[in-house]
Amino acid sequence: MTVEGATASFDGGPRRPRCSLPALAVMLALASVALAIDHPITGDSLVLKDPMAASNRKVRFKATRDAAIDPSQAGDPRALGATLEIAGTSAGDGATGPITLDPTLWTGLGRPAGSRGYRYFDRSRSTGVRKVTFRSSARGGGLTVSGGGSAWPYQITQAQGEIDVRFTIGTDVYCAALVSFRRNEPGRVSAKGAIAPPDCAGPPPATCGNGLVEGSEECDDGNTTSGDGCSATCQLENTSAICAGIPSVSGTALKAVLVASGLAHPTYVTAPPLDPNRLFIVEQPGRVRLVKNGALQTTAFLDIRSKVESGGGEQGLLSVAFHPDFETNGFFYVNYTSQPNGTIADGDTVVARYHASPTADQADALSEHLVFTVHQPFANHNGGLNLFGPDGMLYVGMGDGGSGGDPMGNGQSDASNLGKLLRVDVSTLPATPQRFAKGLRNPWRYAFDRATGDLYIADVGQNLFEEIDFVPAASLTSGRNYGWNLMEGLHCFNTANFGTPLPTCTMTGLTLPILDYCHSTSQNGCTAAEATHPTGCSITGGFVYRGCRMPDLRGRYFYSDFCSGFIRSLSGGDPATAQDHTAALFPGGTLDVSSFGLDARGELYVVHRGGGSDGAVYEIVPGP
């Protein structure tokens, strides 16, 4: 007997029609659809917390005494597993995505096991869910969920709209909708009295063409026509539509919201030009982490820890820059200090190209192609920022080689790549960098204004002064000299005594900073004007805000100091326009600001280095 062509039944009865495997599969699929059952339920309460420390996130959901909750009529999660999903329905609301609840972590309740329902318990909270109970009762069944921690993905950056809860076992879907809130604000939601929706179909899909970015849309310009920067399916075609469909807020009030935490000494954050739904975070030990649709992914985008020397406090993986045509060629460029590798000595700077499929969440770690290397005589002052300029060239900031006072004279040497801003044509590899500018001690972040092309350089000082250099795009030419080690800030540097500036020096041909500030107001050389600025000891340069959400802040350059943690901004290279945002952004205390970053839309992020595995990234958003 064969399945395809049986001639008689097992009991010797009459012949039956033949049934092919494909036909059987179709029948089973149709039966599965027919068996799918929605169970709209009411609920008692939902609590969601999203504080600045991701480890303190929390979820609590409770629905009791509901006749629609009857585990005896549902599948067995010990065999089928289950999924949980909680999602806000307004643009910008939080969402967990479907969370899989492992079948092996379910146990049956009652005797025999399963007669009273089921219990899920995950001590590690690997998905953010710790406990689920799904039980029956004479007065109606119950469903409770609890958990939290850094793995819990629901983020609350704004007051939420309706929040939907969906719990699925096999083909049974239990759903509730919460619309009544005791508390509803960024960081915390408390809702009560969930209603039973008409069905469990979930929120309607995003509507492309309604003028509001929703779901996985990258843009929405109010139509479904391609060729205008935003495609017919609401995907970006070019940067002209980068803000299409993003609501904006007037005014300059700011606050900071947590984006990712539990990071290992993060040093930078960035994104490809046409990828607004992903954010890439550089970790100093040698990984590039990925935040996708607001959730930090477990698997790194790139892991090259085996190549990276991060033993010195300033060594490690320092930045990544995505090619302007990344969506076509998949190229990105990293900057790290290397472990010994052939002719590359321990601690040498390596600028290398890697490749990834543009939409992939993991790069090819074996695709490294050297762009160039620079020998580092000491472990500090590595610079390390890769950044594509308005001309499409790759710019690389290099420190003076380290130690103190630039003992090798690299900053002023025309024969060394150290103490320079390098400019590189990456169309052919390996490449020979051009020494675009000199006289830099340790440019700890520089930035091109995305709208104007103006250049800002934050250069870390020696013992006395921190500085910001500024050159308008119209005056930005190769060959500028920013003064180190002839100058420290606006003062003549004394190579024989770092603690006392020289009274005079030759400044001919130097581009002096637009702003400097003191390490201490009582130090030698600190002027009354400089003393009006907050003190610090290691400037952290940021970027010019050109984002979508806060148009009144566009054109302001943000910067900080690693030691004192202030957050300040100025406009157009003019110190007289300075504003201090420290209290508004971080009222609970300052951070160890190791860097800033921009996403594809030009929204601004602050990077907190932390003490080891507690680094974090925050986004600056409209306040209060």
The reply to whether 278 and 367 lie within a common domain is yes
Residue 273: other Cβ atoms inside 10 A: 18
Say if residue 9's pLDDT is above 90.
no
459 in the same domain as 361: yes
In Å, how far are 85, 302, 327 from 297, measured between CA atoms? 17, 12, 21
Specify the number of domains making up the chain: 3
Residues 366 and 328 in one domain: yes
Angstrom distance (rounded) from CA 439 to CA 509: 11
Q: Is the pLDDT of residue 14 over 90?
A: no
**Is 61 in the same domain as 132?**
yes
**pLDDT greater at residue 365 or residue 54:** 365
For the segment 132-169, what is each residue's pLDDT rounded down to a tens digit? 999 999 889 999 999 999 899 999 988 888 899 999 99
Among 325, 324, 317, residue whose Cα is nearest residue 301? 317
Residue 201 lies in a domain: no
Q: What is the CATH number of the domain that holds 427?
A: 2.120.10.30
> Looking at the structure, do residues 313 and 333 belong to the same domain, yes or no?
yes
Judge whether residue 7 has pLDDT over 50: no
Q: How far apart are CA 620 and CA 381, in angstroms?
A: 28
Position 10 scores a pLDDT of 29
Return d(Cα 351, Cα 393) in angstroms, integer.
14
- 513 in a domain, yes or no? yes
The answer to whether residues 480 and 569 belong to one domain is yes
Task: Judge whether residue 365 has pLDDT over 60.
Answer: yes
pLDDT of residue 19: 42
Q: What is the pTM of this model?
A: 0.73
- Model pLDDT, residue 463: 98
pLDDT at 267 over 60: yes
- Are 158 and 240 within one domain? no
Same domain, 238 and 305: no
Provide φ and ψ at 52, rounded to 5°: -60, -35
What pLDDT score does 33 carry?
38
Mean pLDDT of 527-538: 97
Give which of 462, 294, 298, 319 is closest to 384, Cα–Cα: 319
Is residue 441 pLDDT above 90, yes or no? yes
Alpha-helical segments (H) within 527-570: 528-531
Asked whether residue 6 is assigned to any structural domain, the reply reads no
533 and 451 in a common domain: yes
Backbone angles phi, psi at 104, to 5 degrees: -70, -10
- 598 in any annotated domain: yes
Average pLDDT over residues 254-259: 94
In the chain, the percentage of residues whose pLDDT exceeds 70 is 93
Closest CA to 209 of 197, 221, 191, 194: 221
Looking at the structure, do residues 167 and 295 belong to the same domain, yes or no? no
328-356 pLDDT, tens per residue? 999 999 999 999 999 999 999 999 999 99
Band of residue 36 on the pLDDT scale cut at 50, 70, 90: low
Q: How far apart are CA 578 and CA 540, in angstroms?
A: 16
Average pLDDT over residues 370-395: 97
Task: Please state, in angstroms and rounded to a whole number, the distance separating the CA atoms of residues 247 and 93.
Answer: 13
Q: Point out the least confidently predicted range of 23-37, 88-102, 446-460, 552-566.
A: 23-37
pLDDT band at 201 (very low <50, low <70, confident <90, very high): confident
At 481-524, the pLDDT tens digits run 999 999 999 999 999 999 999 999 999 999 999 999 999 999 99
Residue 23 domain-assigned (yes or no)? no
The model's pLDDT over 204-226, given as tens digits with 9 standing for 90+, comes to 667 899 999 987 789 999 999 99
Can you give the pLDDT at residue 249?
Answer: 94
pLDDT over threshold 90, residue 192: no
Q: Which domain holds residue 448?
A: 268-622
In a domain, 599, yes or no: yes
pLDDT tens per residue across span 581-610: 999 999 999 999 999 999 999 999 999 999
Find the DSSP H helices in 428-540.
528-531
Examine the domain organization and report whether 146 and 218 are in the same domain.
no
176/228 same-domain check = no
